[in-house]
Structure 1
Amino acid sequence: MKQFDNKIDMAKHKVVYVIDDDEIFHFIVKKMFGLQGWDVRVNSFLSAEDAIEDLNDFAARRLPCLIILDMNMQRMNGWDFIEAFRELKTRLTTDVPIIMCSSSMNIQDMEKVKRTPELMAYITKPLDKHKMKVIEEYL
């Protein structure tokens, strides 16, 4: 389910998609962005399917400047999202960097991230100031 924060003029703000099935994580991301003082609008998606649907309908709105993607979600996980994203990215007007954010410390997951060209970085939960600097590099 997609939800939007505040009725902000999207033309004046960067848009970041957060795709995670944990509502608390969305709250934390928004709070952390606010603490950083970033002029960014966060669009929250509780499922990867909703985010893919929104990206397929991108002509009606601006593309995000960044996607923060959870690895482990119900139905469509982060890796499934990447596969679906590959199919639609040829129609996008600009590259959209993706940062995978997960609680997993699994070495195989981290290695797979390195081999996935769509993924710019891998950060672990919970977010902190250091991890926010990684996110800021791609805004």
Structure 2
Amino acid sequence: MNVFLIDDDELSTFLTRHWLVREGLCEEVQTFISAEEALTSLEQCPDYLLPQVIFLDLNMPVMSGWEFLDALSPQAARLKSRTQIYILTSSLDLNDEMRSKDYDLVAAFIHKPIKSEDIQLIRFHTGIYN
């Protein structure tokens, strides 16, 4: 499974990558410390190499997770059948969780740190069992 992790926090990235690999969701995680880098990579990515799952932090400098989601809207049709986005955040603001439901590409809102149960739900939603 092709997985993108967009998060500017190195410790969070390390822990998330560790859990994803440990739980067998994927063998490798492509990480981005900025949403801009991830956006560029997605724009240049051929359809057959699009990630099945994107984990997205909300609070990042320069381009937030919300701005990233807005910037994806021209590509929504291309991504919709291939990619699910999981917001992975430390935000406890209920408004953030409610706002995430306004984005069709967002499959779920997950609080950091990611847990085994979260990964099992992602497996169920994606239908991918490694």
Alignment TM class, shorter chain as reference: 0.7 to 0.9
Bigger relative CO (Cα 8 Å, ≥ 6 apart): 2
Q: Name the structure where helix makes up a greater proportion of residues.
A: 2
Q: Is the Cα contact below 8 Å between 2:56 and 2:85 reproduced in 1?
A: yes
TM normalised by structure 1 equals 0.81
How large is the RMSD of aligned CA atoms in angstroms? 2.0
Identity, % of aligned pairs? 31
- Structure 1 contact 15–66 (Cα < 8 Å) conserved: yes
2:9 matched to which residue of 1?
22
Q: Distance in 2 between matches of 1:93 and 1:131?
A: 21
The reply on whether 1:83 has 2:56 as its aligned counterpart is no
1:113: how far off?
1.3
Superposed CA deviations along residues 55-78 of structure 1, whole A, max 9, x for unmatched, are 111129711011000011001001
| Residue of 51, 54, 59 corresponding to 2:46 | 59
SS of the equivalent of 2:91 reads: coil
User: SS of 1:74's equivalent?
Assistant: coil
Say which is worse superposed, 65-74 or 54-63, in terms of deviation: 54-63
Aligned residues: 126
CA distance in 1, matches of 2:105, 2:80: 15
| Equivalent in 117, 121, 129 of residue 104 of structure 2 | 117
Q: Residue 88 of structure 1: CA displacement?
A: 2.4
Distance 1:39-1:67 versus aligned 2 partners, 3 A rule: closer
- Structure 2 segments unaligned to the other structure (5+ residues): none
What corresponds to 2:23 in structure 1? Answer: 36
Shift of 1:92: 4.9
Question: Could you tell me which amino acid in structure 2 is paired with residue 99 of structure 1?
Answer: Y
TM-score, structure 2 normalization: 0.86
Residues 61/26 of structure 1: CA separation in 2 closer, same or farther (3 Å cut):
farther
